[in-house]
Structure 1
Amino acid sequence: MLVVNEKTADSHSKIQDDATKDLEEGSQGTHKQDEQSEQQQPPGPPYSVFTDLQKRCIVFIVALTTLLPPLTASIFYPVITLLSRELNVSITEINLTITIYLIIQGIAPSFVGNLSDVKGRRPALLAALIVYICGCVGAALGSSYGVLFGMRCLQSAGGSGTIALSLATVSDIVTSAERGKYSSYVQMGWMLGPSLGPSDKIIGGLISRFLGWQAIFWFLAIYAGVVWLVAAMLLPETSRQIVGNGSIQPTAWNKTGASYLRQLSDHRRSGVVPPAPATEKPERPTTITTTTTPSSATAALNPLASLRVFRDPETSLLLVYSGLVYASSYMVLSTLPGQLERVHGLDTLRVSLCFLAPGFGTVTSVLLTGRVLDWNFRRHAARTPGVGAIPRGTGQQEYLNRASFPLERARLQSSAAALLLAGASLLCYGWTLQQQQPGTVVPLAVPLVFLFLQAAGSASAFSGLSNLIMDLNRDRPGAASAAMNITRCWLGAGGTALASPLVSATGGVGWLGVVISGFWLLFSPCVVLVFRNGPRWREEKRGKSVA
């Protein structure tokens, strides 16, 4: 059961006083003095009081929600022609519902992410799912184009916010030294979206054929409803703005259904009248934020908070490059069906089976990369003076702001190697799939192997980049993940729009691989600048926060 009892923080008051003194004197000390003070500090409170089992359950629940955006987008495609006939509109007008879905998908997470940073992850997630369910039910019951258009807007607004919430939730409950493994689970859902698109289309086609197109939206509503019930019963509040490291009880309305049932059962057995639930927020600390106190109690809602993330030079460079890496997957996979049909003469079912190659590549890569990132992080920490071996689940993460800790190197070393693999595999995939002359066709297995490697490399690189973005924005994870969603969706949409005309103009996907690899190389100075200047930027930001 994912309910954590409130724990007292009195035993850590001395730690808080010492940390406050460090902050007041930090601007006058040297890096060496900072490192010595860190070594002299006693072990702080745990970063999170959730057990490993509870963390896995939390991540599993939020990962279920990340399947909604890609599933909703792709399952809709098989019924476009059918909807055009039944609603008596053109296919162009039906395609407008897809366009508006993608536009809102890039905007809505900014609102949901900021709401979760201020009011909590749990209410934001439950509200987003309710909006999504309303959109599905409305689309299923509607019989006009206007209703369908409006309901697709609701679907996008509710479903797309789950991605921002998933990464923010992981940031709440795990330290940077553990983030790689846990974030890989939630990233898997929406990174698999492009690869599983044709399978979703088959599901959508079968449902609409035997049950009607309305059944597609009922299917999505039922899935989201089940996830909502699971989250309402078992998902605790994790926002550090609200519950600190999980040891502070949230307000009564923000508790899980399971906690209410357990409390009611205990009182019935004891015959004691339950006390009135506390509704006041814990007092805001006046000096520093610790892991047992909420980091803010008076923050205001600001949907534009995600745009402020771009003001940080290191984060903005990473956002642009990670968006390009993610967009490349959409460009490759959006052109794959047409090339397989043209060159190898495959039907829809066989084309869908070919998408298993990048799907398996993504799953394998994300799971392995998460563990590699954690291992490399701890390796660099052990080599850094003043840090050393990181105790499991420790709440002390001040070393992440110091220039002496090679945070960028710890996160991006694996990404650099993965990008080399992805770029080389992409070039080989393109030219082995492109038909050079009539009758000269490379066996299908060859480009599929390279497609597997390309998907694995791209997913691994994106995982390292996204983890570094979250490390740099630990105080605003919701806004940071929303900013990632903006660049990912909009660059992905632009890349997809350019991919097909490029393939048509060049006669195949060979030059597509050249163009994508060229863009990676052209924008590689973004990563080089982060490698070289990232530590200095972090130190400057730390100095401003202390001042």
Structure 2
Amino acid sequence: MEQRPVMVGSSPLDVKEVLQAPDASVSPAPENKAVQEAEMQPPYSIYTKRQKNFIVFMSALGGFFSPLSANTYLPSIPSLATFLNVSPSLMNLTVTAFLIFQGLAPSFYGDLADIMGRRPAYFISFIIYIAANIGLATQSSYPALFVLRCLQSSGSGGTYALNSGVMADISTTAERGRYMGAAQSGIMLGPAVGPILGGLLGEYLGWRSIFWFLTICGGVYLVVFAIAVPETCRKVVGNGSIPPTAWWSRSVLNEVARRRAARNNKASAATEPWPIPTQRLRFPNPLKVLLIIKEKDCAVILFYNSIIYASWYTVTADLANLLGEIYHLKTVQIGLCYVPFGIGAALSILGNGYAQDWNYARVARANGFTVDKKHGDDLAKFPIERARIDIVWPLIYVGALATIGFGWAAETETHLAVLLILTFIMALFLTACYNSMNLLLVDLYPNSPSTASAANNLTRCLMAAGGSAVIEPMIRAMGAGWAYTLVGLVSISLSPMLYVVTRYGPRWREERRVRLAKEKAKKEAEAVANC
């Protein structure tokens, strides 16, 4: 009888597997025999700490491109509007379209990465991205700008889902908070660095230089990735010990190291093959994210998470307008005002990773479970919802109060430093909320982490697009103070939704596991009957 490895999808990716509940290793304190059996299992990942750090660095750098592309563009909108002879409202449509495609793209890349591996998904993503940037640098019409911005977003937007998938491949649930925090720090640095780079390049070299800069950076990243970054998808390489067969899944350095190790007979238990069935390839299904969204626990998490994301996006989307109208700042000065926000977001996502790992261990001790960082943890009877959500409560309320304070500071035209401090606080607390719930989604779907992240990205971007579209009319109608008071109160009033997840999430998760097990057994019985 084939033995199923810990937290590894051991069957080809299909609809049932996408909805499969987690099933790998936090188990009640084992006896000696159980400990010995656990030690005989292959490690969750064969990569060393140094190799993991490099993979995390490259994932963070890849995730940096989407927010970088979105924000380097913003300072040049006035000059582009003048050059193309179009209204500011038409130029704002390019921003909205970018955000919409940023939400839609991971739906394709997530399923592709869970089927064929992370590397081919990265290749396709960056090839599209580089081609779009070349087109943007050479275009001279508004229709071309609009279409190419959508294409640019379609290329760079996939890195959101790929980022989470890679972290789920190489880290167990007990250490995943720290790794995902580090990997997603690049995503949060984009809003801080992008406006500064875009302002400097646009002012001194012209708006075309922005897209040539992004083309060069994307090309360099793609070359380094192709040479040095290994395939990590557990459906392709297991825990990293299975040499990938397809050429696009093999990195040059990884393949050289494997051949050298084989020649020197350095095989060990850590490099023993991880059992994995033959891969069944098929065209990615972007609609698969809907299967996750319709699940009760995920629907609640995704909805509230999109509310949190939209609440702080209403601030970042309208910050430039407020600063220009109230303080009459120049383009480069406005770009510098995004720095506190970016720093707060980056610090938040790093610190929250360590906080999540600490709380995970605390909840495990309180429930009499033993954490196994080497082989992974069985979450079937573990309250993972509580472990991830416990530390979110104070973050929500402080972030919401900072949002309300920001609105009234802008309304009263107080000192600029007050607004910048409040943007830092919002980023510090609200980013941690968003990151915690994204981490929970990945824990709930370990066999399809990229698809789970794609569902999260789809809902948050669509909600943020709506928020960015209505915040300016709200400010004009009721003033910045009451507009952001409403935004903050929405976040606070809907926060009990997280209690619902903590209270009923384990039950819903078990119901899903039983339902899918019955459906799988029925399908296997029908297959046997047809033979």
What is the TM-score when the length of structure 2 is the normalising length? 0.84
2:497 aligns to what? Answer: 526
Q: Distance in 2 between matches of 1:546 and 1:39?
A: 31
Choose from 392, 396, 409 the match for 1:419.
Answer: 396
Letter in structure 2 aligned against 1:45:
P
More displaced 10-residue stretch of structure 1: 450-459 or 475-484: 450-459
344 and 132 in structure 1: CA distance in 2 versus 1, 3 angstrom threshold: closer
Q: Distance in 1 between matches of 2:300 and 2:130?
A: 36
Contact 1:47 1:394 in 2 (8 A): yes
How far residue 241 of structure 1 moved from its aligned partner, in angstroms, is: 1.0
Q: Establish whether residue 218 from structure 1 lines up as the match of residue 197 from structure 2.
A: no
Q: Distance in 2 between matches of 1:315 and 1:18?
A: 23
Choose from 386, 393, 410 the match for 2:374.
Answer: 393
1:170 aligns to what? Answer: 167
Q: Distance in 1 between matches of 2:181 and 2:285?
A: 29
Contact 1:113 1:482 in 2 (8 A): yes
2:294 aligns to what? Answer: 311
Q: Distance in 2 between matches of 1:538 and 1:37?
A: 24
429 and 86 in structure 1: CA distance in 2 versus 1, 3 angstrom threshold: closer
What pairs up with 1:21-170 in 2 under 5 angstroms? 41=34, 42-43=37-38, 44-87=41-84, 93-170=90-167
How far residue 324 of structure 1 moved from its aligned partner, in angstroms, is: 1.0
Could you give the per-residue CA deviations for residues 455-512 of structure 1, whole angstroms, max 9, x where no partner exists? 211011111111111111111111111111101211111111111111122232x213
2:351 aligns to what? Answer: 368
How far residue 342 of structure 1 moved from its aligned partner, in angstroms, is: 3.9
Contact 1:194 1:330 in 2 (8 A): no
Could you give the per-residue CA deviations for residues 272-295 of structure 1, whole angstroms, max 9, x where no partner exists? xxxxxxxxxxxxxxxxxx992337
198 and 517 in structure 1: CA distance in 2 versus 1, 3 angstrom threshold: same
Aligned-partner SS, 1:507: helix
Contact 2:348 2:432 in 1 (8 A): yes
2:253 aligns to what? Answer: 258
How far residue 349 of structure 1 moved from its aligned partner, in angstroms, is: 3.7
Q: Establish whether residue 230 from structure 1 lines up as the match of residue 224 from structure 2.
A: yes
2:14 aligns to what? Answer: none
What pairs up with 1:265-304 in 2 under 5 angstroms? 292-294=274-276, 297-298=279-280, 300=282, 301-304=284-287
Letter in structure 2 aligned against 1:112:
Y
1:487 aligns to what? Answer: 459
1:320 aligns to what? Answer: 303
Q: Distance in 1 between matches of 2:354 and 2:297?
A: 24
Q: Establish whether residue 188 from structure 1 lines up as the match of residue 172 from structure 2.
A: no
Could you give the per-residue CA deviations for residues 184-203 of structure 1, whole angstroms, max 9, x where no partner exists? 12222223444445324313
Aligned-partner SS, 1:401: coil
18 and 488 in structure 1: CA distance in 2 versus 1, 3 angstrom threshold: closer
Q: Distance in 1 between matches of 2:516 and 2:159?
A: 30
Could you give the per-residue CA deviations for residues 239-266 of structure 1, whole angstroms, max 9, x where no partner exists? 1111111111111402102245567999
Q: Distance in 1 between matches of 2:322 and 2:423?
A: 13
Which sections of structure 2, spanning at least 5 residues, go unmatched?
8-26, 265-271, 519-531
Aligned-partner SS, 1:391: coil
Q: Establish whether residue 514 from structure 1 lines up as the match of residue 485 from structure 2.
A: yes
Letter in structure 1 aligned against 2:373:
R
Q: Distance in 2 between matches of 1:196 and 1:240?
A: 34
Aligned-partner SS, 1:514: helix
How far residue 82 of structure 1 moved from its aligned partner, in angstroms, is: 4.0
Q: Distance in 2 between matches of 1:18 and 1:392?
A: 12
Q: Distance in 2 between matches of 1:378 and 1:188?
A: 23
Contact 1:131 1:155 in 2 (8 A): yes
Contact 1:112 1:161 in 2 (8 A): yes
More displaced 10-residue stretch of structure 1: 89-98 or 258-267: 258-267
463 and 262 in structure 1: CA distance in 2 versus 1, 3 angstrom threshold: closer
How far residue 452 of structure 1 moved from its aligned partner, in angstroms, is: 1.9
Contact 1:174 1:393 in 2 (8 A): no
Letter in structure 1 aligned against 2:456:
M
349 and 364 in structure 1: CA distance in 2 versus 1, 3 angstrom threshold: same
**Dislocated runs of 4+, deviation >4 Å:** 13-19, 34-40, 84-96, 143-146, 260-267
Aligned-partner SS, 2:157: helix
Contact 1:140 1:217 in 2 (8 A): yes
Q: Distance in 2 between matches of 1:243 and 1:451?
A: 42
Q: Distance in 1 between matches of 2:48 and 2:119?
A: 18
2:418 aligns to what? Answer: 446
Contact 1:244 1:295 in 2 (8 A): no
Aligned-partner SS, 1:248: coil
1:434 aligns to what? Answer: 411
Aligned-partner SS, 2:286: coil
264 and 143 in structure 1: CA distance in 2 versus 1, 3 angstrom threshold: farther
64 and 374 in structure 1: CA distance in 2 versus 1, 3 angstrom threshold: same
Q: Distance in 1 between matches of 2:5 and 2:81?
A: 67
Q: Distance in 2 between matches of 1:347 and 1:88?
A: 22
Letter in structure 2 aligned against 1:506:
M
Letter in structure 2 aligned against 1:538:
R
Q: Distance in 1 between matches of 2:502 and 2:291?
A: 22
Aligned-partner SS, 2:280: coil
174 and 511 in structure 1: CA distance in 2 versus 1, 3 angstrom threshold: same
More displaced 10-residue stretch of structure 1: 355-364 or 130-139: 355-364
Aligned-partner SS, 2:319: helix
Q: Distance in 1 between matches of 2:298 and 2:261?
A: 48
Contact 1:101 1:156 in 2 (8 A): yes
Which sections of structure 1, spanning at least 5 residues, go unmatched?
1-12, 20-33, 271-289, 436-440
How far residue 448 of structure 1 moved from its aligned partner, in angstroms, is: 2.9
Contact 2:400 2:489 in 1 (8 A): no
139 and 342 in structure 1: CA distance in 2 versus 1, 3 angstrom threshold: closer
How far residue 84 of structure 1 moved from its aligned partner, in angstroms, is: 4.4
Q: Distance in 2 between matches of 1:102 and 1:482?
A: 14
Higher relative contact order, structure no. (Cα contacts within 8 Å, ≥ 6 residues apart): 2
Contact 2:344 2:427 in 1 (8 A): yes
Could you give the per-residue CA deviations for residues 500-525 of structure 1, whole angstroms, max 9, x where no partner exists? 111122232x2133111221133223
1:544 aligns to what? Answer: 515
Contact 2:105 2:158 in 1 (8 A): yes
443 and 157 in structure 1: CA distance in 2 versus 1, 3 angstrom threshold: closer
How far residue 37 of structure 1 moved from its aligned partner, in angstroms, is: 8.1
The number of aligned residues is: 486
Aligned-partner SS, 1:48: coil
Larger Rg, first or second structure (1 or 2): 1
- Tell me the C-alpha RMSD between the 2 structures: 3.0
Letter in structure 1 aligned against 2:416:
L
